[in-house]
Amino acid sequence: MSEITVNALGKLNLGLDVVGTLPNGYHRVDMVMQTVKLADTLTIATREDSEIHITCTKDFVPVDESNLAYKAVLLLRRHFPGRVGGVDIHIKKMIPVAAGMAGGSSDAAAVVYGLNELFSLGMKKNFMMQISLELGADVPFCLFRGTARSTGIGERLERLPAIPQMRFLITKPPVSVSTAECYAAFDKVSDVIHPDMDALVNAISSGDMDGILSNMGNVLESVTAKKYPVIEEIKSVMRECGARNAVMTGSGPTVFGVFMPGDDIDKAYGEIGKRGLSKGLYTCGPYLI
């Protein structure tokens, strides 16, 4: 038996805009993605037989063929017939689930990476990114990592310079959001505020911290924050407690506040906990490349 342990890092959207819809109903997006140092840990071990067994530390995460990690094994079996044997995959879940942080996508990316090593498949990163798009629009980015602008349906990635050091306070409010339902509702909303993604990208490119902070934004707040007022409440508390800005990531409901090195992050952490606004509170930094 051989075994590998792989970290599956989460992501935050420093910016997210929806710029159109394709004939098949998919949405064209313009996003700035940032990998963060909040990670699931996957331990993948080969088996003597050909079965795929998944276990997870959170019992509400499905461990059957609907788990993206399982789907990733099947994907590689299709691309490399006869070369990918049975595996036991254990997922230590740290990334909040159904929260807009690409937890499932990152697990899938980790399996693609891990099986490439375990079964000596010889895939280069670009190829892994290309085939993993089939598993979901965020999966290629989870292999790419770092800071990137993502366009198309999320599959076109352009590397951006690393952002300045900062700390994130990440809060998952006690509600869950389905990405599909959020996008469906977005199509029916008329008054939305689009973040200026060019301005955000220019600020990142020139290392302009004030520009980064003032141009962060998420057009999907017009759906999710409208439905769940707790999101605006968390943003206000974070700002009152010293966050330089606070926005929702992905389709939500997770909100993150930005703090500079040396800022007091504990006050906001304590206040959000005290007011019962959170089902999970995390602090972490960006994963910089």
- Catalogue the active-site residues: 11, 138
Site for ligand ATP in 107-136 (CB under 6 A): 107
**CA dihedral angle for residue 79, residue 179, residue 177, residue 95, rounded to 10 degrees:** 40
Q: Kindly report the CA angle at 217 between 25 and 267, in degrees rounded to 5?
A: 135
Nearer to ligand ATP, 63 or 197 (CB): 63
150 binds ligand ATP (CB under 6 A): no
Minimal distance in Å, beta carbon 204 to ligand ATP?
A: 20
Q: Choose the binding region for ligand ATP from 65-73, 76-84, 193-201, 260-268 (rule: CB under 6 A).
A: 65-73
- C-alpha 113/C-alpha 123 separation (Å) is 9
User: Residue 243 in 3-state DSSP?
Assistant: coil
Which two three-digit tokens encode residue 143? 């292999």
15 binds ligand ATP (CB under 6 A): no
Which two three-digit tokens encode residue 158? 């352009």
Q: Give kind and range of the element (H or E) at residue 60.
A: none
- Which of 129, 90, 108, 88 is closest to 8 using CA atoms? 108
User: Using CB under 6 A as the criterion, what x/- string covers residues 73-112 for binding ligand ATP?
Assistant: ------------------x-----xxxxxxxxx-x-----
- C-alpha 284/C-alpha 38 separation (Å) is 6
User: Using CB under 6 A as the criterion, what x/- string covers residues 169-198 for binding ligand ATP?
Assistant: ----------x-------------------
Minimal distance in Å, beta carbon 73 to ligand ATP?
A: 12
- Residue nearest ligand ATP, Cβ-based: 104
Give the number of C-alpha atoms closer than 13 A to the C-alpha of residue 102, restricted to the C-beta side. Answer: 31
Minimal distance in Å, beta carbon 175 to ligand ATP?
A: 12
Site for ligand ATP in 241-260 (CB under 6 A): 250-251
**Residues in CB range of 193: below 8 A, 6 or more apart:** 217, 219, 222
Nearer to ligand ATP, 45 or 97 (CB): 97
In the complex, the residues that contact ligand ATP under the rule CB under 6 A are 61-62, 66-69, 91, 97-105, 107, 138, 179, 250-251
